Amino acid sequence: MTKPRRLVAGNWKMNLLRAEALTLARDIARRAGAAGAGGLRPKGLGAEILLCPPATLLMTLAEVIGESLGGGAGGIALGGQDCHPAEKGAHTGDISAPMLKDAGCRYVILGHSERRRDHGESDALIRAKARTARNAGLVPIICVGETEAERDAGSTLDVVASQLGLSLPDDFAAGEFVVAYEPVWAIGTGRTPTEADVALVHAHIRAHLGERAVPILYGGSVKAENAAVLLGIANVDGALVGGASLDAEEFWAIVRAAGASGSSPD
């Protein structure tokens, strides 16, 4: 099986106004430019960089990233944090996958635990969103992960397998999606699973995916201080970073750790 590409995604969640976002994006773009931008994988880094800001900032970031790195989004990709399962229509307050694509996005995060919790999103809804995103030319990042109660009950692998099986359309091929494992109890808490726990779940996901060379990201309190360890675990192909992605230096340390922990395919 071809080795999956490495990806570090910054999920800014519901944070930052325009001035703050411009400062952060320009700082990250400057660092990527200094590393030698080449396509979507800056030379010397070995990892693709993705920024997922709030929808209000997508157009602003698309412009600043392109300007800072000489156009074409340089070495940084842009992503949305969610999309509606319909391509258009009477859905006040929602955003469609074609709109994200039009704004310059290449990816979209789907099924994040905060969407499942705050908005009651089901696996079936995430599956529908994933299909719409793929049809619009986006790469969905499908999130899975167990709660603390499910972990304590010893059902982590069953929960993750069920979420993945029900959220991921059966006909999706390598290159059309990314999986992110985020133990719900570790998001924003500063707590992380043991290396053995992460390795076990990622191996379980890899087995579920079969021969498809799909990146599997780890998320859940990823920081500069633990990035090298987490990203060095087998079947961990990158990170979905929350709070640490709001600090350019911290986020960049994670990007560098991703590149150092494994070579990217051509």
Residue 120: other Cβ atoms inside 10 A: 8
CB atoms within 10 A of CB 151: 18
Query: Which of 176, 172, 177, 167 has the alpha carbon at shortest distance from 145?
Result: 167
Q: Hey, which residues are catalytic here? A: 112, 182
**Residue ranges of the alpha helices (H) in the chain?**
18-35, 58-68, 97-102, 113-119, 123-135, 148-152, 156-167, 195-209, 224-231, 248-260
Place of tokens 């800001």: 53
Alpha carbons 107 and 264: distance in angstroms, whole number: 19
Give residue 198's identity as a one-letter amino acid code: V
Task: Give the CA distances from residue 246 to residues 40, 113, 128, 152, 191, in Å, rounded to whole numbers and listed in that order.
Answer: 21, 19, 30, 31, 19
